[in-house]
């Protein structure tokens, strides 16, 4: 995946984006009453209504400034939202705006407005570079990043202290040494390695980046079975799995949800985690240490970034109204309200700068530090859904007894290339 260099201070200065950025794009709708239909995902982990309240407050403020435009919001769980939007589109009833997990299929089908058809130049230029890049298909941006996060190495400080580990690991060798001490101290999962089918494509990408490579090359072609990637899984199998440092459940059967739950119970010494897990673990009394993911000889070349997307559908022809509303959504006030309220990271340069400097967000600074140089999965490829599912189902075999990583990654890599050729 191609990455662009981000100069935060320079970008902010050049764009003059030191405050709220709404109101600098398209003019408000003035062609009669328009109702925009917005379908959005529910981010409330506790079953509350914080997501609904966010959108209610935002749309009320927008409608007060834009008489004649109404925004109807439909909140759906993450289990259902992508499917329901797909069903609406298939039935010829696409929403005007969808805030969901993927955009590529809709973009490839010509169903979305591009970013430059919707957003003012300052708003579009204000996206953090890795997120903007990941929102592109064939060099045109269709996916607008709505929320982001990165991954860090988490460790249980109490278990580290008890095992006599005084420094967080910064290399793979140090990680193995720490895991061995945790095992000697009877920690159930010295290092939890969730390569089960729930979210294995994410755990895999973190390790590939740690090993110096990733899913794609500089031309955005799959290279899953590269020499570096095979070496990474050889190391995992030899130094963590075969030394029985990954706990009682085989990595290929350990799902992320179960690994995270074990971490909040105090049963895991180390794992790769995200901001929401930090919040949940600390609620359960776990003191969470966190550092950048280690690589073979030091810090990994990049952290994995993750983004959820918002997009505008062409079907109802409300380009101007959709664009004006989205310019409002991406104001600093609204970006920070959503990110801060959900322990997520902001998607714009100006909001990033503010969050980085504000004391109330200090617990997110380690994640923020990794975001500008992060790499995201190849979500702009229509083949990614198929390739991702293949990784989920099969990557655990790479560290299973009696298998060779080169064979497993080779098969996944060949099938990824076939899927890419069919795009």
All structural domains of the chain with their residue ranges: 8-150+306-373, 152-302+383-421
Q: How far apart are CA 31 and CA 347, in angstroms?
A: 31
Question: CA dihedral defined by 312, 313, 318, 319, rounded to 10 degrees?
Answer: 50
**Domain 8-150+306-373: homologous superfamily in CATH:** Periplasmic binding protein-like II (3.40.190.10)
Give the pLDDT of residue 61.
97
Segment holding 53, helix H or strand E: helix 50-65
Asked if 251 contacts 241 with a C-beta cutoff of 8 angstroms, the reply is yes
**In angstroms, rounded to a whole number, what is the distance separating the alpha carbons of residues 22 and 126?**
12
List pLDDT tens digits, range 327-376. 999 999 999 999 998 989 999 999 999 999 999 999 999 999 999 999 99
Helices (H), 343-404: 349-357, 365-370, 384-394
More confident residue, 143 or 22: 143
Return d(Cα 44, Cα 306) in angstroms, integer. 18
pLDDT digits (tens, 9 = 90+) for 57-66: 999 999 999 9
What distance in Å separates the CA atoms of residue 396 and residue 415, rounded to the nearest whole number? 16
| pLDDT tens sequence across 46-55 | 677 899 999 9
Task: Please state, rounded to an integer, the average pLDDT across all residues of the chain.
Answer: 91
Tens of pLDDT along 291-318? 999 999 999 989 999 999 999 999 999 9
Fold: same for 8-150+306-373 and 152-302+383-421: yes
| pTM of the predicted model as reported, rounded to 2 decimal places | 0.86
Instruction: For domain 152-302+383-421, say whether CATH 3.60.70.12 is its number.
Output: no
CA 145 to chain centre: 10
First to last CA, the chain: 17
pLDDT band at 32 (very low <50, low <70, confident <90, very high): low
Distance, in Å, from the CA atom of 325 to the CA atom of 97, rounded to the nearest integer, reads: 10
Average pLDDT over residues 200-222: 96
Contact 203, 193 (CB under 8 A): yes
**191-213 burial: b if 16+ Cβ within 10 Å, else e:** bbbbbbbbbbbbbbbbbbbbbbb
Query: CB under 8 Å to 241, separation ≥6 — which residues?
Result: 193, 251, 399
Percent of the chain with pLDDT over 70: 92
pLDDT tens digits along 131-187: 999 999 999 999 999 999 999 999 999 999 999 999 999 999 999 999 999 999 999
Residues in CB range of 126: below 8 A, 6 or more apart: 11, 15, 17, 21, 330, 348, 349, 350
147, 207, 417, 86: CA torsion to nearest 10 = -30
pLDDT of 77 reads 92
Instruction: Point out the least confidently predicted range of 16-30, 111-125, 409-423.
Output: 16-30
Distance CA 196, CA 208 (A): 16
Q: Report the Cα 162 to chain-centroid distance in Å.
A: 33
């Amino acid at each position: 995946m191609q990455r662009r260099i981000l100069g935060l201070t320079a970008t902010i200065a050049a764009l003059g984006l030191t405050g709220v950025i709404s109101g600098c794009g398209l003019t408000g709708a003035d062609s009669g009453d328009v109702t925009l239909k917005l379908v959005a995902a529910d981010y409330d982990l506790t079953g509350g209504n914080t997501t609904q309240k966010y959108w209610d407050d935002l749309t009320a403020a927008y409608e007060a400034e834009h008489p004649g435009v109404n925004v109807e919001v439909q909140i759906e769980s993450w289990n259902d939202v992508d499917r329901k939007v797909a069903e609406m589109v298939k039935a010829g009833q696409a929403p005007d705006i969808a805030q969901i997990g993927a955009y590529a299929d809709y973009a490839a089908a010509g169903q979305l407005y591009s970013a430059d058809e919707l957003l003012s130049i300052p708003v579009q230029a204000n996206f953090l570079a890795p997120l903007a890049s990941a929102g592109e298909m064939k060099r045109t941006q269709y996916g607008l990043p709505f929320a982001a996060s990165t991954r860090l190495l988490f460790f249980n400080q109490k278990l580290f202290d008890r095992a006599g580990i005084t420094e967080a690991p910064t290399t793979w060798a140090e990680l193995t040494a720490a895991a061995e001490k945790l095992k000697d101290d009877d920690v159930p999962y010295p290092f939890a390695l969730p390569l089960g089918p729930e979210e294995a494509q994410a755990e895999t990408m973190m390790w590939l980046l740690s090993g110096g490579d990733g899913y794609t090359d500089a031309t955005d072609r799959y290279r899953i079975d590269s020499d570096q990637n095979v070496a990474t899984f050889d190391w995992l199998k030899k130094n963590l799995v075969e030394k029985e440092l990954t706990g009682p459940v085989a990595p290929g059967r350990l799902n992320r949800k179960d690994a995270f739950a074990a971490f909040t119970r105090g049963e895991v010494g180390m794992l790769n985690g995200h901001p929401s897990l930090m919040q949940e673990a600390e609620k359960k009394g776990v003191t969470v240490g966190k550092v950048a993911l280690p690589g073979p000889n030091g810090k990994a070349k990049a952290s994995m970034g993750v983004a959820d997307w918002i997009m505008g559908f062409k079907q109802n022809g409300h380009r101007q109204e959709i664009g004006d509303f989205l310019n409002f959504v991406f104001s600093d006030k609204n970006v920070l309200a959503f990110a801060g309220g959900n322990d997520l990271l902001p998607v714009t340069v100006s909001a990033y700068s503010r969050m980085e400097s504000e004391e109330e967000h200090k617990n997110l600074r380690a994640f923020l530090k990794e975001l500008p140089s992060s790499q995201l999965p190849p979500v702009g490829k229509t083949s990614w859904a198929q390739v991702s599912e293949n990784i989920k189902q099969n990557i655990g075999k790479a560290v299973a007894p009696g298998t060779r990583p080169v064979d497993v990654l080779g098969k996944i890599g060949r099938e990824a290339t076939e899927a890419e050729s069919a795009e």
